Amino acid sequence: MTEQIHSIALIGLGPRGVSLCERLAQLSQETAEHNPPGSPSKQIKLHLIDDAPAGAGRIWDPEQTPTLCMNTLAHAVTLFPEENSGIKGGILPGPTLHEWIRLIIAPDDGVDDIASEKRETFFSFPPDKNKYQRFWSEMENTQPESHPSRALYGAYIRWCLDVALARLDKSVHVIFHQARAQEIQRCGSRDTIHLDNGVKIQADSTVLAPGWLRPGLNIAEQELAQAVKTHPSLVWIRPDNPVEQPLDAVPDSAPVLVRGLGMGFFDVMALLTLDRGGEFIPDAHSRSGLRYLPSSREPHFLISSHRGYPYLPKSEYHSLPPRAAIPRLRKLGRRLRPQYPGHETPTPASIDFRRTIWPAIIRDSYEAYYQTLARVRPEAFKGSDHTSLIHALDHAPDEDLLEQAAELAQEFLAQPEDRFDLREFLDPLPGTFSSPEALGEHIAHRMSCDIHEAVLARDSALKAGLWSISASRKPASIIGAEGAYTLDSRPTLSAFMSLGQMVGSGPPLFRTRQLLALYDAGFVTFLGAEPQLSVVDDDREPRWRIKTRSLPHDHAEATTLIDAWMHQPTIARPHDQDPLLPSLEHQGRLRPFHYHTAAGEHLTTGSPEVDRYTRRLIHPDGNIDPSVHLVGIPTYAQMPDTTISPIPNSRSLMLQETSAAAWSVWQQIHP
Give 449's pLDDT tier (boundaries 50, 70, 90).
very high
What is the C-alpha to C-alpha distance for residues 396 and 577, in angstroms, rounded to an integer? 53
Average pLDDT (297-301) is 98
Give 61's pLDDT tier (boundaries 50, 70, 90).
very high
What is the C-alpha to C-alpha distance for residues 493 and 62, in angstroms, rounded to an integer? 36
What is the C-alpha to C-alpha distance for residues 458 and 462, in angstroms, rounded to an integer? 10
Q: Which amino acid is at 473?
A: R
What is the C-alpha to C-alpha distance for residues 587 and 458, in angstroms, rounded to an integer? 54
Range list of H helices, 521-651: 580-586
Give 53's pLDDT tier (boundaries 50, 70, 90).
confident
pLDDT tens digit string along 21-46? 999 999 999 999 988 777 766 899 99
Question: What is the pairing mode between strands 543-547 and 532-536?
Answer: antiparallel
SS3 410: helix
Q: Which DSSP state fits 485?
A: B
Output the DSSP codes for 128-189. Answer: -GGGGGGGHHHHHT--TT---BHHHHHHHHHHHHHHHHHHS-TTEEEEEE-S-EEEEEEETT
Inter-residue contact 458 to 466 (CB < 8 Å): no
- Using the predicted structure, report yes or no on whether residue 1 has a pLDDT greater than 50: no
What is the C-alpha to C-alpha distance for residues 470 and 94, in angstroms, rounded to an integer? 28
Query: Who wins on pLDDT, 642 or 340?
Result: 642
Distance (Å) of CA 199 to CA 177, 182, 580: 9, 10, 15
pLDDT tens digit string along 480-527? 999 999 999 999 999 999 999 999 999 999 999 999 999 999 999 999
pLDDT tens digit string along 117-126? 999 999 999 9
Give 644's pLDDT tier (boundaries 50, 70, 90).
confident
Give 76's pLDDT tier (boundaries 50, 70, 90).
very high
Q: Which helix (H) or strand (E) segment is 453 a member of? A: helix 436-456
Q: Which DSSP state fits 220?
A: H
pLDDT of residue 3: 63
Q: What percent of the chain has pLDDT over 70?
A: 99
Average pLDDT (607-620) is 97
Output the DSSP codes for 518-540. Answer: HHHTT-EEEEEES-EEEEE-SSS
pLDDT tens digit string along 281-296? 999 999 999 999 999 9
What is the residue-averaged pLDDT of the chain?
Answer: 95
Domains along the sequence of the chain with CATH: 6-214+635-669 (3.50.50.60), 219-311+507-563 (3.50.50), 327-505 (no CATH)
pLDDT of residue 2: 52
Lowest mean pLDDT among 25-34, 301-310, 597-606: 597-606
The C-alpha angle 535, 539, 541, rounded to 5 degrees, equals: 55
- pTM for the full predicted model: 0.96
pLDDT tens digit string along 536-570? 998 889 999 999 999 999 999 999 999 999 999 99
Q: For residue 14, what are the contacts with CB-CB under 8 A and spacing of at least 6?
A: 50, 56, 57, 59, 60, 157, 209, 211
Give 244's pLDDT tier (boundaries 50, 70, 90).
very high
- For the chain, the residue count is 671
What is the C-alpha to C-alpha distance for residues 546 and 541, in angstroms, rounded to an integer? 16
